[in-house]
Structure 1
Amino acid sequence: MKKVAFYTLGCKLNYSESSSIGRMFAQKGHTKVEFNENPDIFIINTCSVTENADKKCRKIVREAQKINPDGYVAIIGCYAQLKPKEISEIPGVDVVLGAAEKFRLADLIDTFEKTTSGQPAHVIASHIDQAIEYHTSYSLNDRTRTFLKVQDGCDYPCAYCTIPLARGKSRSDTIENVVKAAREIAARDVKEIVLTGVNIGDFGLQNGERKETFLELIQALDEVEGIERFRISSIEPNLLTDEIITFVAQSKRFAPHFHIPLQSGSNKILGLMKRRYKRELYVERVVRIKELMPDCCIGVDVIVGHPGETQEHFEETYQFLNELDVSYLHVFTYSERENTAALAIRPIVPKNLRAERSKMLHILSEKKKRFFYETQIGKTGKVLFEDEIQDGQMLGFTENYVRVAVKYDPLLINETKEVRYDYINTESLMEVSEIHEEILAH
């Protein structure tokens, strides 16, 4: 039996899949260990979103070789699907598996032999059109929350994005299977499930036909006993219907927290990006959420420096976000990706301008987050405490995604307690002075 270690780059979806593949190895008698515990097999789950994918992959492979020069190195994930030949030539890599093959890794690993020096790695990667199967995945034992995959792939060909090339067409689990997985997770005393996927609002496509809807999914999950709260990871504004917003507002378990990709506040740039909405629709969604859930946390994805973005377009985006009642931003700096439509768009934004614009939006995000936190002072919320210590304090998130800090108490780990918000500390965390049922001395 082998010792197997994982290193996961990228999104919550990758974490859910790494965890599930790890359990496949455990079912075969192998032992999952930490990366630095001299494993026999290193599995690196890669991401393709940033231009540093190659650099990160090479660095992790080098570290694996330092830890165990005889260790077997397998590369999976989005970058592995997009650039299998390139990865196969990285010294130390033994096998590269594509999107359609990665869930077979535990079955295939015994048939592989370590490559000798100078030989390219073994590549098992089909064309992305072959990635049609759906594999239920969720993370366990990694953190207080569990990431549960409900959907994979994407049918939206945004100009800047390689995800459809890396993960294939949109496809989903069934509501029955998702509910079953949620009950399995609840049996392990997990308190929060984060629903994740590539385009989860498109949930319900099975074999190319729409069988179910995302609204029906969350209605079913709301009835699952044992899970205290569900969180929606990210949902496209054109798929975030009024029915979904209304349901979350009155639900028993869904958190008042939405993460809604915007990408640009300029309709011109949204058109160049091939996004499926205009800024006016985005405003409608935010206004509706705040009407029904005034304390709801709203996060925004935004890209700076996309080809065609002039200074005027950027200023339009900045002003749009500045005036919008949202809580924080995830800022991405555009990077060129092979085989994307954005490469043909002009003018190209110089990298120094991209960095400058990114910095401005990061500062705006901090201001937005602080303002949102300030609106919560004096109110109460329910925080799920994590096994994470920072300067003698333990941390956790409330249902509306306020990051809370309290004095460390091991009895609070993985417990949900009602708190009263007191003030924001120097680390931009919310301090609480009182916990109902328990008083914490500061």
Structure 2
Amino acid sequence: MEQRKKVAFYTLGCKLNFSETSTIARSFESEGFDRVDFTESADIYVINTCSVTENADKRFKSIVKQARKVNEDAFIAAVGCYAQLKPEELAAVEGVDLVLGATEKFKITDYLNDLSKNDFGEVHSCEIQEADFYVGSYSIGDRTRAFLKVQDGCDYKCTYCTIPLARGISRSDTLENVLKNAAEIAAQDIKEIVLTGVNIGDYGKGEFGNKKHEHTFYELVEALDTVEGIERLRISSIEPNLLKNETIDFVAQSKAFVPHFHIPLQSGSNEILGLMRRRYRRELYTDRVTRIKEVMPHACIGVDVIVGFPGETDEHFLETYHFLNELDISYLHVFTYSERDNTLAADMEGVVSKKVRAKRSKMLRGLSAKKRRAFYESQLNTERVVLFEGENKEGYIHGFTENYVKVKAPWDPSLVNTLHRVKLTSIDEDGMVRFEFMDEKMMTA
């Protein structure tokens, strides 16, 4: 009997990439492949790439090396955003055999008739205008949480961003299909779904460039709240101008949606927001944060910020720093601006030196640590529900409360993928929170 071929996956970048890798992996399994870990010997290694930062480009080469070290004769395929933007560049990396663009990646098994090594990577990538259809996906792997893709592409023209070039126009899954996927996830005893996409607040635009919204993001949230078997629903990242009061108010009284929002800001200076072509100003951002905290005082709010954008002076940066310092938010994701080909920002004047970018990034990371600590302290002596994760990290099990406080306890396998009511008691040296069990099951255990 012929031995089954083995495939391994490596995902760079965002939650959306993870959901798509998972879907691509299931297509391999249905074709008779066995999935193995990326550190193991496989016949095919698939690397799902990202192009958001310069670093992601460099990491690709080291991941290819890693795969070749395990099996020099393996077939290596690159898919994802970087594969769409710079296919020839990836194809030229030693050891890469196949590069698939935005529309081809979901049909990868169709390109694998011959697994012999190529001298130069074979490229199949479309013009991005052709990426006008929608492929739904969701990730399953970590038993406690699944990433469910509801939307793809973006119609915004932010001057620093290559995502519209890598993923095409904004388009969405049908409400019916999202609910079907959510029910499939629930059937596998997964307790939490994280909604993901490129610009999920824009949910509802149909395929083929149809700009009419079939449904709104609010209607999506409302419908998902009724799915049986899902304990928690989390909105991953949503633009401030698309996060409406009706959605915030619905989450506040929802059965399953948790009080955790991640809202990109990018800059606290209106002048820089204008140069970035963002679709809001800082006043609107303040308004969104204020509204959330009014109806959910215990909500966790995460913020994306870019430092070192062209034209960002010390005054602009300090404007951002002070704006964030005074805002009632919980943590930051800090990105150091990096020039990307074919973006307007790459040709802008006022380039900020790498050294200054690094200094500003360090200052904001320090502010993030301070904000997270203050948020965790505000949650001490409150009762929360924790969903425990599946990994044993140095003798501890970790979990997250509904409002995204990370907790730890001595490893206990019976806790994996279970929800428990706890009282948050203290913050450990590593910044994680200790707790006492408050539910009966644990009292009697």
TM bin (shorter chain): over 0.9
Partner of 2:107: 104
CA distance in 1, matches of 2:297, 2:426: 20
| Residue pair 1:433, 1:440 contacting (<8 A) in 2 also | no
Cα separation, partners in 2 of 1:135 and 1:124, compared to 1, 3 Å:
same
The letter of the residue matching 1:234 is: S
The letter of the residue matching 2:50 is: C
Partner of 1:383: 386
Which SS does the other structure have where 1:388 is aligned?
coil
Which SS does the other structure have where 1:110 is aligned?
coil
Displacement, 1:167?
0.5
Partner of 1:54: 57
Which SS does the other structure have where 1:348 is aligned?
coil
Partner of 2:185: 185
The letter of the residue matching 2:263 is: I
**Residue 195 (1) aligns with residue 195 (2):** yes
Q: Deviations over 1:296-348 (max 9, x none)?
A: 00000000000010000000000000000000000000000001011222211
The letter of the residue matching 2:147 is: F
CA distance in 1, matches of 2:85, 2:143: 29
Which is further off, 135-144 or 392-401?
135-144
The letter of the residue matching 2:145 is: R
CA distance in 1, matches of 2:67, 2:442: 46
CA distance in 2, matches of 1:197, 1:97: 20
CA distance in 2, matches of 1:347, 1:141: 44
Displacement, 1:439?
4.4
| Residue pair 1:65, 1:71 contacting (<8 A) in 2 also | yes
Q: Segments of 4+ in structure 1 off by > 6 A?
A: none
| Residue pair 2:260, 2:300 contacting (<8 A) in 1 also | yes
Gaps of 5+ in 2: none
Q: Deviations over 1:395-423 (max 9, x none)?
A: 00110000011122111100000010000
Matches within 5 A, 1:17-166: 17-111=20-114, 113-115=116-118, 119-166=119-166
The letter of the residue matching 1:152 is: D
| Residue pair 1:302, 1:332 contacting (<8 A) in 2 also | yes
| Residue pair 2:390, 2:397 contacting (<8 A) in 1 also | yes
Displacement, 1:440?
7.9
CA distance in 1, matches of 2:266, 2:232: 28
Which SS does the other structure have where 2:243 is aligned?
coil
From 350, 355, 366, give the equivalent of 1:347: 350
Partner of 1:256: 259
Which SS does the other structure have where 1:355 is aligned?
helix
CA distance in 2, matches of 1:51, 1:276: 25
Displacement, 1:54?
2.6
Partner of 2:321: 318
TM-score by length of 1: 0.97
Which SS does the other structure have where 2:112 is aligned?
helix
Q: How many pairs are equivalent?
A: 438
Matches within 5 A, 1:363-374: 363-374=366-377
Partner of 2:310: 307
CA distance in 1, matches of 2:85, 2:313: 30
Instruction: State, as a whole percentage, how many aligned pairs show the same letter.
Output: 61
Q: Deviations over 1:87-119 (max 9, x none)?
A: 11111000000001000002221245421xxx2
| Residue pair 1:407, 1:440 contacting (<8 A) in 2 also | no
